[in-house]
């Protein structure tokens, strides 16, 4: 979760800087990273601890 907080802090700083030609690609990449992380979090399935171990 610390990385999520850093992501939002950086996004706020870049938005406040108001330099759209520089920040637009950066913000787009940050939003893509955020979306990928949220997608992973919503689709993650913990391993079944009751299942027998396979080797």
Burial class (CB in 10 A: 0-12, 13-18, 19+), 34: middle
Phi first, then psi: give them for residue 14, nearest 5 degrees. -65, -40
**8 domain-assigned:** yes
Residue 54 has pLDDT above 70, yes or no: no
Residue 41 has pLDDT above 80, yes or no: yes
Domain of residue 31: give its range: 3-43
The number of folded domains in the chain is 1
Could you give the C-alpha distances from 44 to 2, 25, 50, in angstroms and in order?
Answer: 19, 28, 18
Residue 14 has pLDDT above 80, yes or no: no
**9 domain-assigned:** yes
**51 domain-assigned:** no
Mean pLDDT of 12-34: 75
- Report the share of the chain in percent with pLDDT over 70: 80
Q: What is the pLDDT of residue 4?
A: 76
**49 domain-assigned:** no
Q: What is the pLDDT of residue 39?
A: 92
Query: 17: helix, coil or strand?
Result: helix
pTM score of the predicted model: 0.47
**54 domain-assigned:** no
> Which residue spans within the chain are E strands per DSSP?
none
């Amino acid at each position: 979760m610390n990385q999520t907080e850093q992501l939002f802090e950086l996004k706020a700083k870049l938005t406040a800087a108001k330099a759209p030609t520089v920040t637009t690609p950066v913000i787009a990449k940050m939003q893509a990273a955020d979306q990928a992380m949220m997608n992973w979090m919503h689709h993650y399935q913990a391993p079944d601890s009751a299942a027998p171990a396979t080797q």
